[in-house]
Structure 1
């Protein structure tokens, strides 16, 4: 029997039943303006690669950063500084100030970004509480957090022509602000988004942009497209043959002519499969769901790495979370369970792209096994499977195969929403988003680093969003029905010795 080591210094910060104080917290919208680049930029249509297009049907990404400010500084002074610096940074990040043209038009005959200096939505608001109240409560998730972000969602509109980036700055009583943001995934992946936020913070402190974005989306523009009639790209599963994870599967984009009969399992979903999966997703979205964050300190992470047999903090924490959330959801033994992730491919494409590339350059993959197999093994099983998944997502040719896969699906008439459902995985799939390596707590707008970073909303049930801890370790945000969340709280922070 395993001994249990309980890390009392670790925390889980969850939404509690609403108190009277929380129910009466009011967020008041003061004004909305549009921030445009400080200097007019060249009007042009920007090519969207297939790595961008697959994100058109996906909901916007939202985040909130909390800051203490000088109580003597007027709120309008703070917002003026933020607007001026945002205007300056948009000169370099001009596609973010553009608009999405979803109609197949222009030279490419496909959706594009109209770089027209349409601007960024900037909302100013106030909240009738002190930021110290949230700080004392360790920024436990609150139902009103979603009111701290402009809840725009381009995926809900077939011909969305609103801003691609929206910001809300909310002032607290007695000083303190939060910066809520909403960005359309088509314009930026996680690396690009946090690069934008970092550069904005630089400008707000009075410094020039130290690392300007590179606009190189045409790198992924095909002069000659794949002949889909003779060579097909499948999103397929390969059986893993490594001893301790034998029988599990890794899903990736592979040319059919490179697959052997022994390992190829075509998983292209039928329309009926997609409808059933969509029904599951919509049902999950309408359930009463609770958002909770968990902090893994360095001591916990080192213990997990030792148990998992890995030097990677991401692998160790993700493997532990995958096991615990599967147990908390009481998944039937023979039900497929999976772990999905995306890998930053900037340094893996040929020629390599700089870290400052603005756009989407990530490749997705999934690992799958059964609940019985995952829960019947120790953590090394899950960790080894995730390590193999990382190798697969990072392998040479995956980005090219993904681009060709999208071409073939679009060429056959598959609409973009249907395309997204083909690679979304199953109902009991944990999908990891964000990264503990992003510079979240380096974003100093002149008032020091953030007190806390929050996810006001989260897509998917049992998904995990990873952030760096403020001082050390890793924070994980997830969303589950209350009963399942209560189970997760009881088991996630206990590390078997």
Structure 2
């Protein structure tokens, strides 16, 4: 049986901030500017996450806060760009990271709630979690640049706590963030070595010179901005609206039945993943939750991101700390979405993901170099499945739950593991009327 999470009610976690400061590397690091690839350039927005821990008698909250701060200072030596600030190179019109050790935000806070009081809300990202991962340090003056990354440790009445991380997407993608958290955790151990050595060379995904665009790239919108002096990067943002937030849950039984429904008898060996069937369902629900009345040949496009680390030659290191992902678009007509088979839709997604070869990826980076455009689609379906933030081992134990935090983007939904039953959950943000239609379509699929 599918289930829909209750409407989150804990919008105010009664947070009190005790410390708000900037943390810099523990050793002197060289002043330099870091090149940002074409995909880094367009991801200039924050991704907040929350990582929850149960009480550990051997590590009281105050001790954890001290260890975390020291660990952060140490890990910022190999990750010095995290403590830097964005700057615009006026000669090239491109963003760069100025490694000026201006600092990472560090906030110590407490909540009047216990994890037990939050109950099932602990395993469903809700509005209150926004208080667990601050994006700005309010105590900084208006003339001080805000950090690109901020950590917040929040204690609960029960002795449990949460570590919130708000990071500008330019700095890290999901796998890069996982590697960073592993290294941060390693530095919380006494004299612990880094788990992995970060790969910070973003020239590895630079466009070719001259650019060689050999594929059509319909998943991007050409802005054709000026280049060179006086120009700037494209801005990937959206209108801020009043949104409703829901978590749509898919149990292991749901997923198994969806995979059976998706099996294509003409290609029995095709791999049908959990993400592919979840993405297909979210696509159908979203396509018909908005404006009513689409022409038969009018097209709907979803975007998803492909990890390039094993798709380029030589392979990128798993610890590549830039954005080693690339958006790819999948399109079909609204008529096909409404009347076509579910297996056909999953097959479309599967075939399109297979298109992401090394040559396609290089062509995409070159297209972005020429047209200075942005990802363009109706809906971005992003996967947290397999990132494994809950596998990170800290001195005080592994997280009991990790999740993205809701934000203002209605054009993105997040697919992640559901801690309650090994299924998956999908976080959706939409205006109220669209959410009603989305929910109805979601339930209709399983009737």
TM-score, L = length of structure 2: 0.84
**CA-to-partner distance for each residue in 1:148-183, whole Å, 9 max, x for gaps?**
211249xxxxx9943221111111113111111111
Cα 1:24/1:479, change in 2 over 3 Å = closer
Between the aligned partners of 2:383 and 2:94, the Cα distance in structure 1 is 28
The question of 1:111 aligning with 2:65 is answered no
Cα 1:485/1:443, change in 2 over 3 Å = farther
Once the 2 structures are TM-superposed, how far is the Cα of residue 35 of structure 1 from its aligned partner? 1.9
Q: Is the 8 A contact 1:14 1:291 kept in 2?
A: no
Match of 1:162 in 2: 146
Between the aligned partners of 1:364 and 1:160, the Cα distance in structure 2 is 33
Question: Equivalent residues in 2 for 1:250-329 (5 A)?
Answer: 251=219, 268=222, 281-282=238-239, 285-286=240-241, 288-309=242-263, 310-329=271-290
Match of 1:406 in 2: 368
Once the 2 structures are TM-superposed, how far is the Cα of residue 439 of structure 1 from its aligned partner? 1.1
The question of 1:386 aligning with 2:349 is answered yes
Once the 2 structures are TM-superposed, how far is the Cα of residue 436 of structure 1 from its aligned partner? 0.2
Cα 1:72/1:49, change in 2 over 3 Å = closer
Match of 1:240 in 2: none
**CA-to-partner distance for each residue in 1:266-289, whole Å, 9 max, x for gaps?**
x74799xxxxxx9x942xx32x31
Q: Is the 8 A contact 1:190 1:434 kept in 2?
A: no
Q: How many residues align?
A: 421
Once the 2 structures are TM-superposed, how far is the Cα of residue 192 of structure 1 from its aligned partner? 0.7
Between the aligned partners of 1:88 and 1:269, the Cα distance in structure 2 is 41
Cα 1:396/1:456, change in 2 over 3 Å = closer
What is the root-mean-square deviation in Å for CA atoms of aligned residues?
A: 3.0
| Residue 358 of structure 2, aligned match among 371, 396, 401 | 396
Q: Is the 8 A contact 1:339 1:430 kept in 2?
A: yes
SS in 2 for 1:353: coil
**CA-to-partner distance for each residue in 1:222-252, whole Å, 9 max, x for gaps?**
57333xxxx7677544xxxxxxxxxxxxx47
SS in 1 for 2:112: strand
**Worse overlay, 171-180 or 441-450:** 441-450
Cα 1:138/1:47, change in 2 over 3 Å = closer
Q: Is the 8 A contact 1:339 1:386 kept in 2?
A: no
The question of 1:377 aligning with 2:364 is answered no
TM-score, L = length of structure 1: 0.76
Q: Is the 8 A contact 1:53 1:186 kept in 2?
A: yes
SS in 2 for 1:29: strand
| Residue 184 of structure 1, aligned match among 138, 143, 168 | 168
Match of 2:5 in 1: 13
Match of 1:480 in 2: 430
| Residue 61 of structure 2, aligned match among 68, 72, 75 | 75
**Worse overlay, 323-332 or 361-370:** 323-332
Once the 2 structures are TM-superposed, how far is the Cα of residue 386 of structure 1 from its aligned partner? 0.8
The question of 1:366 aligning with 2:366 is answered no
The question of 1:208 aligning with 2:208 is answered no
Between the aligned partners of 1:345 and 1:269, the Cα distance in structure 2 is 24
Once the 2 structures are TM-superposed, how far is the Cα of residue 132 of structure 1 from its aligned partner? 1.0
SS in 2 for 1:403: helix
Between the aligned partners of 2:11 and 2:43, the Cα distance in structure 1 is 35
**CA-to-partner distance for each residue in 1:363-420, whole Å, 9 max, x for gaps?**
222122232320212211221111122122x12312221222222225xxxxxxxx32
**CA-to-partner distance for each residue in 1:77-117, whole Å, 9 max, x for gaps?**
12111111222222222221222222335xx7743212232
**CA-to-partner distance for each residue in 1:427-482, whole Å, 9 max, x for gaps?**
xx221124301012213323433333333223532532122333623222111223
Between the aligned partners of 1:318 and 1:25, the Cα distance in structure 2 is 32
Match of 1:100 in 2: 86
